[in-house]
Each structure stands twice: as structure tokens, then as C-alpha cells.
Amino acid sequence: MIWVAWRQHRGEFLGVAILLAGLGALLLTHGVAMHDAYDRLGIRDCHLVFLGGTDQACIDRVMDFEDDYAGLPQQFTSWLPFLPMVAGMLIGAPLLAREYEQGTWQLAWTQGVTRTRWLATQLGVVFGVVLVASVVFAAGLSWWLEPVDIQRFSSAKFNHAVLVFPGYVLLGMAIGVLAGVLSRRVLVAAAVTIPVYLALRLPIEFGLRPRYREPLTSDDPAVISHGWPIDGITMGPGDGFPSVRYQPDDRFWQFQVIETAILLGVTAVLLATAWRLVLGPGAVTADRRLVRAPGRRPAVR
């Protein structure tokens, strides 16, 4: 049973393995060099005083470091939030839609195991492999991105941490699976995954994330530099540093847990709906093209 699920999705798993290998190569080349430079140039200490902006030599070193190494991570982190969506399109959407599209659901569900066991194994194997891969992927990314940003609580670091990133991957997959059950077409399901993923992700990331807890307020740059200014920092006309609302760095993992819980909750709802559609008493398994009103003339073949 597990072998069957493994064999059916071998191509997808191979793609995942290639992606992980690509990331590994990137970390070994660019990542190792960047970490070396980070330590060698003492960027960590400079980052701490950066916002104070007094030590010109330090600022120069940080600028040089960022010129040399920050470009690639910034490019990657601008499109990596779409990776969970791509996983949903390429792995989630075909998971059940392909069975319907090719008619093989009738083969799978007339073997000697019940549909419940079949579905549990399919989802378990595919989601299990993807979950493990995405945790590994996020761990690698987190290490890679460590030196890049001044802020620990930057969106780049938050999005690719080992909790939230796998959470979004599971969400993307679940969207694809449900779209596949509803549409029964691989391409339609993959296409539908895009707007649904964005419609769920954008409000969570930009609407909810800054508000998981009441932000703190400070006008001390040294304090704010250890946090995430949720409205950005706008220098006022006066001399003093403006009063800024921020989430302190020590809330990072708390926020990770909250956002991951939200993502897993939505994922569970989507999967439960797909589960019910496949297994429930009103299971929509008929080929609707075959249904015509009684008495109406069937189409001439």
C-alpha cells in the first residue's frame, strides 16, 4: 500500500529531491562564503550599532558585505513565498485529480483495501514526504539567511523559518488536493490553487501577522533595532527619533507558533473537506457526463 503511493508519486518526489539538492549546492557555495565573510568582517557587531549610525568604518563594512552577498538571498526570498503554491500546483493538485482524470480511481478503489485506507495512505505518504522535505528546506534557508538581514524579525527570516515555511507548504498542498477533488482536472486544480493560495496567504501575512500581539512602542533606536517596526520607520521633521510601534525579537518563535497553528488549522479544514467529498455518503464519484434526465434522448454516439 505504501509502496503504491510511493511509486505513484515518485516523479514528484524526485522533483523535491532535486530542489533540495539545488538548495544544498547553493548553501555550500554562496552560503559558506557568506558566513565566512560575516565572521571575518565582524558584521554581527556592526549590525548591533548600525541603527545608531555613528561608526563610519563599521557602516562601510556592512555596506560592502551586503553589496557582495545580499543580492542573491534577496532575490530568492522575494519569490520563495510562492514555492508552497508551486508545491500545491505540482504535487497537491494532481494527487487526486489525476486519478479522476485518467479514470484510475475506479482501479484503485476496487482493489482489496477500502477507500478509507487507500486515501489515508496516499495523503499520509505524500504529505509526510513533503513535510519532511520542507522542514529540511526551511532549516537550510534559515541558516543561509542568518547573516543577511539586520532584523531577526524580518519577513524574509520569518517566512522561511522551520515552522511557518512548512506550514505554508502544507496549506498550498491542501488547497491543491481539494481543488483536485472538486474540479477533477489537474490543470484546472493547479490553476485554481494560485488565487486561493494568495487569497489565504496575503491577509495572514500582511493583515494578521503584525497583530498577533499588541505591539510595543519606543522612540529609542537601540531598542527598536531589536524588533520589527510593524509600520516601518518614518523620520519626522524634528530632531528626535520618532515613536515607533514594534514587535520585539523575543516574540519571534511565539509568532511562528501562532501563525503555524493558523496555517495548520486551515489545512486541516481543507483536507477534511476533501476527505468527506471522497469518502462521505454523498461522495461525488460519478462521472457527471453520464447523467442525463430520464426520458431525454441520449446523445447519439
Partner 1 sequence: MSAAVVTRGLGKRYRSTWALRDCDLVLPAGAVVALVGPNGAGKTTLLQLLAGLQQPSAGSVSLFGLSAPAGSAQALGELGYVAQDHPVYRRFRVSELLHLGRSLNPAWDQDLAERRIDELGIPLRQRTGRLSGGQQAQVALALALAKRPRLLILDEPVASLDPLARREFLQVLMATVADEGLTVLLSSHNVAELERVCDHLVVVAGGRVQLAGDVDSLLDEHRVLTGPGAGVPDGPGVIHVDQADRHAHVVARIGGAEPMPGWSARPIGLEELVLAYLRRAREPRPVTSELELSA
Q: Which stretch binds partner 1 (CB under 8 A): 2-10, 18-26, 136-144, 168-176?
A: 2-10
Ranges within 252-291 binding partner 1 (CB under 8 A): 281-283, 285-288, 290-291
Cα distances (Å, whole numbers) of residue 72 to 29, 172, 286: 12, 25, 50
Total of chain residues touching partner 1, rule CB under 8 A: 38
Nearer to partner 1, 40 or 297 (CB): 297
Rg of the chain over Cα atoms, rounded to whole angstroms, equals 24
Cα-based angle 103, 277, 271 (whole degrees, multiple of 5)? 105
CB of 175 to partner 1, least distance (A): 24
Per CB under 8 A, 187 contacts partner 1? no
Cα distances (Å, whole numbers) of residue 165 to 71, 87, 150, 177: 21, 12, 20, 19
How many Cα atoms sit within 13 Å of 129 on the Cβ side?
22
CB of 283 to partner 1, least distance (A): 6
Query: CB within 8 A of 142, min separation 6: which ones?
Result: 157, 160, 161, 162
CB of 284 to partner 1, least distance (A): 9
8 A C-beta contact, residue 241 and residue 221:
yes
Q: Is the dihedral of CA 187, 191, 196, 198 positive or negative?
A: positive
Which of 29, 78, 102, 217 is the binder for partner 1 (CB under 8 A)?
Answer: 102
Q: Which stretch binds partner 1 (CB under 8 A): 29-37, 86-94, 112-120, 203-211?
A: 112-120
Nearer to partner 1, 83 or 93 (CB): 93
Which of 236, 237, 238, 298 is the binder for partner 1 (CB under 8 A)?
Answer: 298
Nearer to partner 1, 169 or 278 (CB): 278
Nearer to partner 1, 99 or 259 (CB): 99
Which of 104, 217, 243, 254 is the binder for partner 1 (CB under 8 A)?
Answer: 104
Contacts 24+ apart (CB under 8 A), 108-111: none
Cα distances (Å, whole numbers) of residue 284 to 33, 104, 143, 278: 55, 15, 46, 7
Per CB under 8 A, 198 contacts partner 1? no
Cell numbers standing for residue 186: 489537474
Ranges within 11-40 binding partner 1 (CB under 8 A): 11
How many Cα atoms sit within 13 Å of 215 on the Cβ side?
18
Nearer to partner 1, 13 or 212 (CB): 13
- Binding residues for partner 1, per CB under 8 A? 1, 3-4, 7-8, 11, 102-107, 109-115, 118, 281-283, 285-288, 290-295, 297-301
